[in-house]
Chain A
Amino acid sequence: MSQPVRIDLEGFGKAYGGVPVLRDVSFTLYGGRVHGLLGENGAGKSTLLKAVCGAVAPDTGRVLLDGRPISVGSPRDALRHGFALISQELALVPAMTVLDNVYLGRWHNRLGWRSGRKDGRTFARLLERTGFELDPSALVRDLPLAAQQQVEILRALVSGASVIGMDEPTALLTKTETDRLMAVIRQLAADGTAVVLISHFLEEVLSVCDDVTVLRDGRHVVTGPAAEQTPDSLVRHMVGRPLELMYPEPAPVAPSAPVLLSARDVRRGTAVRGVSVEIRAGEIVGVAGLVGSGRSETLRAIFGADARDGGTVVVDDRAVPSGSPPQAMAAGMAMVPESRKEQGLVLARSVRENMALASLGSRQLAGFVQGGAERSVAGTMLRDLDVRGSDLSGPVWTLSGGNQQKVLFGKWLLERPRVLLVDEPTRGVDVAAKSQIHRLLVDLAAEGMAVLMVSSEVEEVLGLSHRVLVMRHGRLVAEYARGEATREQVLAMAFADDLPGTDPPPEPGGRAAPGRVDPTTPTVSSRTSTEEQR
């Protein structure tokens, strides 16, 4: 590799409907370096990256490649100059194989006929270079998310990308998968690629990035070496003032507090194999575990999003039938699902309509929506959760990812449920909003709500929960009181039998566990983890 490339971004500006979301942003990227892009939800990070990679047309701004202005008017143009974007929502063809996706549109051919053999050979070399383990003939839709991301990375490499932008690639990954990805990113940089990394995990950014840039309200705040920053200084730049980043202490649960949720021996297929849990009023119970361990499936089965194969769920002495969200809601349960795009929000509809959706019946008169009441409760919730980037009437899809998450939360809080099931409550949420959501959960519990929370962030589980449960292969395998467990202990329990040298637990009927999640190398054989992503 000769002289590393230098990419100057000059004066990027973009407004939507007259509201600026990017204002005159300029900074420089270098080949061989990893550049972190930070900012609160809605700061304009994704918009900037999309503009640079030709996915949205900026109002102003140009890109200089080694001093020469280049045109990045479309993704195709950008790719020609070596700019590839791995966006927040992956863009793969689910029904095609890994190999076909990696070479999408640039298959080797002989006189117009596809030459799969040649693709296969270069694919093998790519795997060698990156250390990924992917089966070229597997269908992309059967892959766990981490593997799908690898497919995207390979595709970027095949296109000869010298600049790769990654928009929150680790938001959906577990710790091991994240570590693996960070190693790959370092490897890419070592090969001379300029990598831009958007992430809300400050430690992650500080550990992997050479440089960082912070945006606030669409404005450029600072660019500089990562070594000169600390998590606190980054937060100050992002939020505009210092911010306490401690987990709020949950209020102690009174020994006399009644049990609100009692689930017994809940089963569903191979994903949930007999889970029992009791939660008292005011208690936050956190569930840790690997992707594919059945955490989300457990929540869904308790709520009734999926029918149970067995087991009972009782809320407040009232039995909740299997597979009926309306009945679960009538009993006082609410579930914030893990994927806001697929399961949570109606993207084309307004913020107001989305917030009102789960509680339409409580603000109606003769079947008609009471507009005034709805506006006022939704407006209050919007302010309480500090949703930014839109008023009530704006469609939800125009909000940034983190703000969408807040709307999703707000929807379920309008009805003040007695039992709240939350799956990944802070996925893709910025540091400030994250501590707001943490505060909110703790406050809700203090008011007497029973909270069952699933999170891939072990720190979050440890920091917020009165009790920590660890799940593995569809069963609860450990329980710790607050302060009793360390991060390492929880992770060890989550992996346990996957670690070399330990034996897997006996399976019912003597079968081996289908598709275990391998802690060291994300493999493509994990069936249970694809189930979790549906």
Chain B
Amino acid sequence: MTITADTEAATETTGRAAASRFTKLHDFGIVLSVVVIVIALSVTTQTFLSTGNLVNLLDQAAVIGLLACAATLVIISGAFDLSITAVLAVSAIVAVVVTTHAGVPAGMAAAVLTGGVLGAINGLVVITVKVHSFIATLALSIIYRGLAVILTAGAIVYPPDDRVTAFQALSWPTTLGGITAASLLFLVVAAVCWAMLAGSTFGRRIYAVGGNEEAARLSGIRVGGVRVAVFAISGVCAALAGLVLAARGGSAQASMATGMELTAIAAAVVGGTSVLGGEGAIWRGLIGVLLITLIGNGFNLLGWDTIYQQVVQGALILGAVSFDRLLRGRRS
């Protein structure tokens, strides 16, 4: 049945193998950009590579990192979730309220559950109302913020004094080289998401739904189920980020982390995850987070005036992404 001349097929295959190694290199342009910044900071400052600073850097990256994992998953599945920070706020408030009545472990569990449920609601609304997820989650995020205001009566809420220390456990350093519990949580969540997306059949389904929903459906994939699950996971990540933020401040309020969902989406996309869905990876989101956090850190270390930070941050992101594009070449 096969009609290729064997020798020709062989040269073709080796050629292709070389070519795909070549393309793999192309994919790492954004990593190169980050490496350049790291080297620049290591050379220009003495403090950058100190343990203290690296621990600090990781801690700073935890909240945005958790949110970026959520954003990456949702974007790869071909949707957007603009409600993550609203979910974050509601979950954090629930954590404080439940902690007050039933203790810290119950409070944390309730927060995670809240995140999962709100996320699943997002997913259900998106698949039943069939409006674009961008609009659906925007509307829902307004509702959630409103809910947060109702829960707190517009005030800042605190856990009771005797439970504050336990409530703030996530901001404590751990025995692992002194990195905070929050950093550890972020690393674990990122690793789980990474493994799930890259190695599990569920991950494959996420890519397929994002890349071509109809083809996925005709391949027997329950598209609605995948969407709801992805939004639920996104909600859980948001709740965890909420716990970290509440632990740091020892309080929660309705306006927490406003606008940070856009930073998270930016982090996901900067790393090379396609806004069209179906393409991307968790590590790309992490690279984006690193890039964004590094810039803030660099300003600090170099003692530059922070009034320029946003301009430089925007410019650097643009530069890194253009470099990435350039390396990956023109694509039809």
Residues of A at the B interface (CB closer than 8 Å) are 16-19, 55-57, 217, 239-240, 243, 305, 325-326, 328-329, 335, 337, 342-349, 353, 356-358, 360-361, 364, 367-369, 371, 383-384, 386, 388, 390-391, 393-394, 411, 432, 436, 439-440
Smallest Cβ-Cβ distance to A397: which chain B residue: B332
Interface presence of B1 (CB below 8 A): yes
Interface presence of B201 (CB below 8 A): yes
B221 touches A357 (CB 8 A): yes
Residues of B at the A interface (CB closer than 8 Å) are 1-5, 8, 12-13, 15-20, 22-23, 195, 199-205, 207-208, 211-212, 214-222, 274, 276, 278-279, 330, 332
B288 to chain A, nearest CB (A): 19
Q: What's the count of A-B pairs with C-beta under 8 Å?
A: 115
Task: Please report whether the interface of chain A is mostly helix, strand, loop or mixed according to DSSP.
Answer: mixed
B3 touches A346 (CB 8 A): no
Question: What are the 4 closest A-B residue pairs judged by CB atoms, nearest first?
Answer: A17-B19, A346-B211, A358-B219, A360-B201
B226 to chain A, nearest CB (A): 12
Most chain B CB inside 10 Å of its own CB: which residue of A217, A346, A393, A411: A346
B207 touches A329 (CB 8 A): no
A346 touches B220 (CB 8 A): no
A347 touches B19 (CB 8 A): no
Interfacial chain B residues near A384, Cβ < 8 Å:
1-2
Interfacial chain A residues near B279, Cβ < 8 Å:
348
CA gap between A304 and B22 in the complex, in Å: 42
B274 touches A348 (CB 8 A): yes
B173 to chain A, nearest CB (A): 34
Smallest Cβ-Cβ distance to B214: which chain A residue: A343
B87 to chain A, nearest CB (A): 25
Q: Which of B17, B199, B212, B330 contacts A346 (CB 8 A)?
A: B212
Interfacial chain A residues near B330, Cβ < 8 Å:
57
Q: Which of A18, A343, A360, A383 contacts B215 (CB 8 A)?
A: A343
18 A-B pairs whose Cβ atoms sit less than 8 Å apart in the complex: A18-B18, A18-B22, A325-B217, A326-B220, A326-B221, A329-B220, A337-B218, A342-B214, A344-B215, A344-B218, A353-B207, A357-B215, A364-B200, A367-B202, A386-B1, A386-B2, A386-B3, A390-B16
Interfacial chain A residues near B17, Cβ < 8 Å:
391
Interfacial chain B residues near A364, Cβ < 8 Å:
200-201
CA gap between A484 and B315 in the complex, in Å: 73
CA gap between A348 and B18 in the complex, in Å: 20
Smallest Cβ-Cβ distance to B222: which chain A residue: A326
Interfacial chain A residues near B20, Cβ < 8 Å:
17, 391, 393-394
A391 touches B1 (CB 8 A): no
B19 touches A357 (CB 8 A): no
Known: A19-B15, A19-B19, A391-B13. A347 touches B201 (CB 8 A): no
B208 touches A436 (CB 8 A): no
CA gap between A356 and B203 in the complex, in Å: 13
Known: A18-B22, A368-B201. A345 touches B8 (CB 8 A): no
Interfacial chain A residues near B8, Cβ < 8 Å:
217
Interfacial chain A residues near B15, Cβ < 8 Å:
18-19
Task: Please report whether the interface of chain B is mostly helix, strand, loop or mixed according to DSSP.
Answer: helix
Known: A348-B274, A386-B2. A343 touches B199 (CB 8 A): no
A17 touches B212 (CB 8 A): no
CA gap between A457 and B23 in the complex, in Å: 39
B212 touches A345 (CB 8 A): yes
Interfacial chain A residues near B201, Cβ < 8 Å:
360-361, 364, 367-369
B269 to chain A, nearest CB (A): 15
Q: Which of A18, A240, A325, A436 contacts B220 (CB 8 A)?
A: A325
Q: Which of B1, B3, B19, B274 contacts A18 (CB 8 A)?
A: B19
CA gap between A348 and B217 in the complex, in Å: 16
Interfacial chain B residues near A368, Cβ < 8 Å:
195, 199-201
A349 touches B278 (CB 8 A): yes
Q: Which of A217, A243, A305 contacts B3 (CB 8 A)?
A: A243
CA gap between A436 and B2 in the complex, in Å: 8
Smallest Cβ-Cβ distance to B23: which chain A residue: A17
CA gap between A305 and B215 in the complex, in Å: 10
A103 to chain B, nearest CB (A): 25
B200 touches A357 (CB 8 A): no
Interfacial chain A residues near B22, Cβ < 8 Å:
17-18
CA gap between A58 and B222 in the complex, in Å: 42
B211 touches A347 (CB 8 A): yes
CA gap between A77 and B274 in the complex, in Å: 30
A353 touches B204 (CB 8 A): yes
CA gap between A257 and B156 in the complex, in Å: 75
Interfacial chain A residues near B219, Cβ < 8 Å:
325, 357-358, 411
A346 touches B16 (CB 8 A): no
CA gap between A163 and B214 in the complex, in Å: 37
Smallest Cβ-Cβ distance to B201: which chain A residue: A360
A367 touches B200 (CB 8 A): yes
Most chain A CB inside 10 Å of its own CB: which residue of B207, B212, B274, B332: B212
CA gap between A136 and B214 in the complex, in Å: 31
CA gap between A16 and B16 in the complex, in Å: 10
Given contacts A347-B212, A348-B279, 10 further A-B contacts (CB under 8 A): A18-B19, A239-B3, A328-B220, A335-B218, A353-B204, A357-B204, A357-B216, A368-B199, A369-B201, A436-B3
A360 touches B1 (CB 8 A): no
Interfacial chain A residues near B2, Cβ < 8 Å:
383-384, 386
B4 touches A360 (CB 8 A): no
Interfacial chain B residues near A367, Cβ < 8 Å:
200-202
Interfacial chain B residues near A439, Cβ < 8 Å:
1
CA gap between A19 and B15 in the complex, in Å: 6
CA gap between A19 and B17 in the complex, in Å: 10
B19 touches A16 (CB 8 A): yes
Interfacial chain B residues near A347, Cβ < 8 Å:
211-212
Q: Which of B12, B208, B211 contacts A388 (CB 8 A)?
A: B12
Interfacial chain B residues near A19, Cβ < 8 Å:
12, 15-16, 19
B144 to chain A, nearest CB (A): 30
Most chain A CB inside 10 Å of its own CB: which residue of B18, B214, B220: B220
CA gap between A326 and B19 in the complex, in Å: 37
A325 touches B207 (CB 8 A): no
Interfacial chain B residues near A342, Cβ < 8 Å:
212, 214-215
A523 to chain B, nearest CB (A): 28
CA gap between A344 and B204 in the complex, in Å: 16
B217 touches A346 (CB 8 A): no
Smallest Cβ-Cβ distance to B329: which chain A residue: A17
CA gap between A367 and B202 in the complex, in Å: 7
Interfacial chain A residues near B278, Cβ < 8 Å:
346, 348-349
B28 to chain A, nearest CB (A): 15
CA gap between A345 and B216 in the complex, in Å: 8
B220 to chain A, nearest CB (A): 4
Interfacial chain A residues near B332, Cβ < 8 Å:
55-56
A477 to chain B, nearest CB (A): 28
Interfacial chain A residues near B18, Cβ < 8 Å:
18
CA gap between A17 and B27 in the complex, in Å: 13
Interfacial chain B residues near A393, Cβ < 8 Å:
20
Interfacial chain B residues near A371, Cβ < 8 Å:
199
B200 touches A348 (CB 8 A): no
Smallest Cβ-Cβ distance to B198: which chain A residue: A369
B188 to chain A, nearest CB (A): 18
Smallest Cβ-Cβ distance to B199: which chain A residue: A368
Smallest Cβ-Cβ distance to A20: which chain B residue: B15
A332 to chain B, nearest CB (A): 12
